[in-house]
Chains A and B, each alone.
Chain A
Amino acid sequence: MTDTVERGAPVIESRPLTELDRRPTFFARHKSLLLGLIGGLIVLSSWQTLVWVGVVDDKFASSPLGAIEGIGYLAESGMLWEPTFSTLTSVGLGILISIVIGVPLGLVIGRSSVLHGLAEPLISIMYSVPFVVFLPIIIFWFGIDDTARLVIVVWAAVFPLLINVVAGARNLDANYLQVSRVFCSSRLKTLWSVSLPGTMPYILAGFRQAVARSLVGAIVAELFMGTEGLGYVVQAETSNFQMDHAMAAIGVIAVIAVLLTRGVAWLESRLTFWSGSVD
């Protein structure tokens, strides 16, 4: 072993420089980000150009610059921060409730073959059926206040979370549980120190879907039964033919969606840095 390294070492030192030794250019290092920005700019500027030359009517289609002005209007008339806060509250509370219900329930169902047999078809169906179809029924049950909005967000978020946690608990490496048994861990200790961290990659995958769907749930709820929130702003401003204002609110929703997705990705890298192989 050692003499191959010794024989190999001088060769590495003296070989001529190749492509691999050069530091990649700024463009090469940020390729996907830059291309994404350029793509976005192309679409937005074409849109703006079409409005300027009069091909499309900005009363109907709004325009990028109009939307930016629209944000100013929303901020002045109290339709920016309060609705944003309201939407984020629905999403946050809904996710919190989904986690409190979904994670322990998923772990228990996943670890018990009887419970899994009983619950799995039901969870799959509830996961597959678009949650929006329950909207009329939920309105019938809960009215159109905050509770109903929260119910629809939880309804949207809890099933993807549940289905992933169940899958994770079922795929938990049997070796880990055997280690736990050999060292006489209590059930609670095993759940907390083995099952929970061992399922964490699945929990976070479910969490990622749950976050995305809870935002959809919150916006849909606001569109149909809200008196507040960004979805309501979009709905109300469109009814008033204020397309710039509606487009501005959609822009805010887009920013929230991107930030939430990034936040979850960051959380995933923090909590499951250990999963992922050496190679």
Chain B
Amino acid sequence: MDDATGRPVKLDVSDVCIGYRDRRSGSFFAAVQDLGFQIHENEFIAIVGPSGCGKTTFLSAVAGLLPIAHGTLELNGAPITGPAEDRSLVFQQASLFPWRTVAANIAYGLEAQRRLDAAGRQRVADLIELVGLAGKEGKYPRELSGGMSQRVNLARALATDPDLLLLDEPFAALDAQTREVMQEELTRIWQADEAGAGKTALFITHDVPEAVFLADRVLVFSASPGRLVESVPIDLPRPRNRDVKRSPEFMDQTEYLLDLVMRQSGLRQEVES
């Protein structure tokens, strides 16, 4: 099924339930349930929701790190059964290998997939330039700031030129200023990466303005077990920069989504009554 603009479906999620079985009691705990939506080619999707709503669990399942209990989870029409070369993940934590230089960390994915040939090395060099790490190729992770580390993290994920880019709260651990800068950098990089300009991305965050600023569409999850509450298209023009955040459209949509998210966590119930 194509969307209004005629873009083909990239990720098809229908009736998905993910959870785990308690080892002692044997009872099943669902982290997400009855989940259904579609993501189209070149879309930048952000998922927001109250903490513990299973958004990271869902992302892990898309990455192939967790099995789904039932439902269908299909990428390009094929079910996801495990990690594969067509997806890569930007981790929340500092997951860089401390014994590798910046360049070697970025090259890791290509190396693991035996694609580090001349073209691969050129790709690594281009990405270092693109994410603003020129001159830092030879540094080790302990010499990098939080923002720098996440640039490497992002470049490492982009290096394998994935079909679907997964981002798990990549800026959550950064300070406010660095986060602002990184949000802008991410939109710039996402639009500029020539190997797949505007590749399909799935971004998990608990920061609503961040989601509105980055995404083409924001999906709101309910509190545990996570269900899709609403899919909100963000029609702010691209390319976006800091000024967008001061526009009335941005503020309206942020306010609307914040209200929706807080309703899920039960924080705004008293306002309603």
- Determine if A277 and B89 form an interchain contact, defined as CB atoms under 8 angstroms apart: no
- Determine if B63 and A200 form an interchain contact, defined as CB atoms under 8 angstroms apart: no
Nearest residue, chain A, Cβ from B63: A182
- Determine if A182 and B142 form an interchain contact, defined as CB atoms under 8 angstroms apart: no
Which A179-206 residues sit within 8 Å CB-CB of chain B?
Answer: 179-186, 189, 193-194, 197-198, 200
Which A145-201 residues sit within 8 Å CB-CB of chain B?
Answer: 175-176, 178-186, 189, 193-194, 197-198, 200
- Determine if A175 and B142 form an interchain contact, defined as CB atoms under 8 angstroms apart: no
- Determine if B99 and A197 form an interchain contact, defined as CB atoms under 8 angstroms apart: yes
- Determine if A274 and B140 form an interchain contact, defined as CB atoms under 8 angstroms apart: yes
Known: A176-B97, A178-B95, A179-B95. A189 touches B112 (CB 8 A): yes
- Determine if B142 and A184 form an interchain contact, defined as CB atoms under 8 angstroms apart: no
Interface string of A121-145 (1 = CB under 8 A from B): 0000000000000000000000000
Complex CA gap A64/B2 in Å reads 91
**Nearest Cβ on chain B to A252's Cβ, whole angstroms:** 37
Known: A197-B97, A277-B142, A278-B143. A175 touches B109 (CB 8 A): no
- Determine if B99 and A184 form an interchain contact, defined as CB atoms under 8 angstroms apart: no
**A78 interfacial contact with B, CB 8 Å:** no
**A14 interfacial contact with B, CB 8 Å:** no
- Determine if A182 and B98 form an interchain contact, defined as CB atoms under 8 angstroms apart: no
Complex interface: chain A residues within 8 A of B108 (CB): 179, 183, 193
- Determine if B95 and A184 form an interchain contact, defined as CB atoms under 8 angstroms apart: no
Complex interface: chain A residues within 8 A of B87 (CB): 182
Complex CA gap A43/B145 in Å reads 50
Nearest residue, chain A, Cβ from B87: A182
**B113 interfacial contact with A, CB 8 Å:** yes
**B85 interfacial contact with A, CB 8 Å:** yes
**A25 interfacial contact with B, CB 8 Å:** no
**Nearest Cβ on chain A to B101's Cβ, whole angstroms:** 9
Nearest residue, chain B, Cβ from A185: B112
Complex interface: chain B residues within 8 A of A77 (CB): none
**B83 interfacial contact with A, CB 8 Å:** yes
Number of B interface residues in the complex (CB < 8 A): 26
Complex interface: chain B residues within 8 A of A273 (CB): 140
Complex CA gap A185/B142 in Å reads 24
Of the residues A183, A193, A194, A274, contact of B142 by C-beta under 8 Å: A274
Complex interface: chain A residues within 8 A of B63 (CB): 182
- Determine if A274 and B99 form an interchain contact, defined as CB atoms under 8 angstroms apart: yes
Complex CA gap A277/B91 in Å reads 20
Complex CA gap A99/B89 in Å reads 36
Complex interface: chain A residues within 8 A of B99 (CB): 197-198, 200, 272, 274-275
- Determine if A194 and B98 form an interchain contact, defined as CB atoms under 8 angstroms apart: no
Complex CA gap A176/B141 in Å reads 13
Interface residues on A, range: 20 to 34
Complex interface: chain A residues within 8 A of B84 (CB): 184
- Determine if B88 and A183 form an interchain contact, defined as CB atoms under 8 angstroms apart: yes
- Determine if A184 and B83 form an interchain contact, defined as CB atoms under 8 angstroms apart: yes
Known: A175-B91, A176-B97, A197-B97. A182 touches B140 (CB 8 A): no
**A276 interfacial contact with B, CB 8 Å:** yes
- Determine if B98 and A274 form an interchain contact, defined as CB atoms under 8 angstroms apart: yes
Nearest residue, chain A, Cβ from B90: A182
**Nearest Cβ on chain B to A162's Cβ, whole angstroms:** 22
Complex interface: chain B residues within 8 A of A197 (CB): 97, 99
Interface string of B70-91 (1 = CB under 8 A from A): 0000000000000111011101
- Determine if B143 and A183 form an interchain contact, defined as CB atoms under 8 angstroms apart: no
Complex CA gap A272/B142 in Å reads 12
- Determine if A183 and B95 form an interchain contact, defined as CB atoms under 8 angstroms apart: no
> Quick one: which of B64, B109, B143 has the most chain A CB within 10 A?
B109
- Determine if A182 and B97 form an interchain contact, defined as CB atoms under 8 angstroms apart: no
Complex CA gap A232/B111 in Å reads 52
- Determine if B143 and A184 form an interchain contact, defined as CB atoms under 8 angstroms apart: no
- Determine if B85 and A184 form an interchain contact, defined as CB atoms under 8 angstroms apart: yes
Complex interface: chain A residues within 8 A of B143 (CB): 278
- Determine if A275 and B98 form an interchain contact, defined as CB atoms under 8 angstroms apart: yes
Complex interface: chain B residues within 8 A of A274 (CB): 98-99, 140-142
Nearest residue, chain A, Cβ from B97: A176
Which A106-120 residues sit within 8 Å CB-CB of chain B?
Answer: none
Complex interface: chain B residues within 8 A of A185 (CB): 112
Identify 29 residue pairs between A and B in the complex whose beta-carbon atoms are under 8 Å apart, listed by A's number: A1-B177, A175-B95, A176-B95, A176-B97, A178-B91, A179-B108, A181-B83, A182-B63, A182-B87, A182-B88, A183-B83, A184-B84, A184-B112, A189-B111, A193-B108, A193-B111, A193-B112, A197-B97, A197-B99, A198-B97, A198-B99, A273-B140, A274-B98, A274-B99, A274-B140, A274-B141, A274-B142, A275-B99, A278-B142
Instruction: List A residues at the B interface (Cβ < 8 Å).
Output: 1, 175-176, 178-186, 189, 193-194, 197-198, 200, 272-278
Q: Which are the 10 A-B pairs with shortest beta-carbon distances?
A: A185-B112, A183-B109, A175-B95, A197-B99, A274-B98, A183-B112, A274-B99, A182-B89, A179-B95, A274-B140
Given contacts A179-B91, A184-B113, A193-B112, 13 further A-B contacts (CB under 8 A): A1-B177, A175-B91, A175-B95, A180-B112, A183-B88, A183-B113, A184-B83, A193-B108, A198-B99, A273-B140, A274-B140, A274-B142, A276-B142
